[in-house]
Amino acid sequence: MIAFPNAKINLGLNILSRRPDGYHNLSSCFIPIDWCDVLEIVESDQFQFQSTGIPIPGDENTNLVIKAYHLLKGNYDLPPVSIHLHKVIPMGAGLGGGSSDAAFTLKILNDLFDLKLPVTELEKYATQLGADCPFFIENKAKLVGGIGEVFESVNLSLEGYQLQVVFPGIHVNTGQAFQSITPEDPTHWPKDVVIKPVDSWKDKLVNDFEKPVFAAHPELEEIKEKMYGEGAIYAAMSGSGSSIFSIWEHDAEPVSFPYPSFTHQF
Ligand SMILES: C[C@@](CO)(OP(=O)(O)O)[C@H](O)COP(=O)(O)OP(=O)(O)OC[C@H]1O[C@@H](n2ccc(N)nc2=O)[C@H](O)[C@@H]1O
Ligand SMILES: Nc1ncnc2c1ncn2[C@@H]1O[C@H](COP(=O)(O)OP(=O)(O)O)[C@@H](O)[C@H]1O
């Protein structure tokens, strides 16, 4: 069975409070985007994992795809599988690619072996793999709270707009980025801003990670400012960075950068 785990971007990302377990409560609007990996899982004689495309750092057993398989295997009598992950989504980019691979692994195994796990159960398993993972189970634009596992539907349409996402190659460590933030309530909440026209979002829809990450990497802020300077309606960093995205009128020509990038007409 083959699937195409996609990335996400954060429209606004406010870090509200630090919890006793070290995690942070946040408020954001997540939207899926069509920048995708390729993930194939088939039944096999023995467990096998192969990855191609962008090399994934770290020991193979830290790969979230393998962790997702073992998590389900702990509770279900799963046969061995052969997994092929073709990595396209940049990593450490604030795009949630690894989390998406993990969530799609759960969904494929659920379908392949007819486990009949409902969405709520899949989301619980996904939360054990990473705070961003449960979003990719339903994989629809959502207002997100808690540490990333509390969802509210949102009436958001970007139809008629164009999205640009640029990955400038700087890898941001998510855990360290959270440590550099002083949590507080925002002046404007994402749920109130994203339902208004896109041209009202600037300065209201804020990603709290921008301040510390831009201070460490001023070239990222320059990319955002260049997007605004060339006509973007809204521009911001996604997640803990370092991807910068911008929203344009459908007939605009987004400024180009010498980095991996993705554009999409909604
Ligand atoms: C910041 C966000 C926003 O969408 O995205 P990315 O930049 O990673 O894409 C997410 O909250 C990232 O979620 P995810 O990357 O799954 O986090 P995890 O693997 O669970 O945790 C990585 C590190 O971030 C910290 N963390 C994560 C989520 C959260 N709500 N509070 C935290 O403090 C954890 O303490 C951990 O040290
Ligand atoms: N399947 C996977 N794809 C990408 N990264 C993975 C995967 N499994 C584990 N990782 C680890 O997670 C880290 C963060 O990757 P990713 O989730 O794509 O970025 P981000 O958290 O910035 O959205 C990577 O640097 C890598 O060490």
Taking the centre of ligand 2 as the mean of its atom positions, its distance from the CA of residue 160, in whole angstroms, is 31
Rounded-to-integer distance, Cα 132 and Cα 149, Å = 8
DSSP 8-state class, residue 151: E
98 is in an annotated binding site: yes
How many whole angstroms from 149 Cα to the centroid of ligand 1? 11
In CATH, the architecture of 155-265 is: 2-Layer Sandwich (3.30)
pTM of the model: 0.96
Domain residue ranges of the chain, discontinuous segments joined by +: 2-152, 155-265
Query: ipTM for the complex?
Result: 0.95
Question: Can you say how many angstroms the Cα of residue 240 is from the centroid of all Cα atoms in its chain?
Answer: 10
Evaluate whether 2-152 and 155-265 have a shared fold. no
The 10s digit of each residue's pLDDT in 30-81 is 999 999 999 999 999 999 999 999 999 988 889 999 999 999 999 999 999 9
Question: Ligand 2 in contact with 94 (CB < 6 A)?
Answer: yes
The finding on whether 239 has its CB within 6 A of some atom of ligand 1 is yes
Q: Once rounded to an integer, what is the mean pLDDT over residues 152-159? A: 92
Q: Is 243's C-beta closer than 6 angstroms to any atom of ligand 1? A: no
pLDDT digits (tens, 9 = 90+) for 83-124: 999 999 999 899 999 999 999 999 999 999 999 999 999 999
- Residue nearest atom 17 in ligand 2 by C-alpha distance: 98
Residue 247's Cβ-count burial label (10 Å; 0-12, 13-18, 19+) is: buried
Residue having the nearest C-alpha atom to atom 6 of ligand 1: 94
* Bridge partners (DSSP) listed for residue 14: 27
CATH for 2-152 is 3.30.230.10
Gap from CA of 196 to ligand 1 centroid (Å):
27
Render pLDDT for 172-185 as a digit per residue (tens, 0 to 9): 899 999 999 999 99
| Distance (Å, whole) CA 43 – CA 163 | 38
Helix then strand then coil, % of the chain, to nearest 5: 30, 30, 40
Mind giving me the DSSP string for 186-247? Answer: -SS-HHHHTTS-GGG-TTTS-BTTHHHHHHH-HHHHHHHHHHHHTT-SEEEE-TTSS-EEEE
Is residue 14 in contact with ligand 1, taking CB distance under 6 Å?
no
Percentage, residues of the chain above pLDDT 70: 100
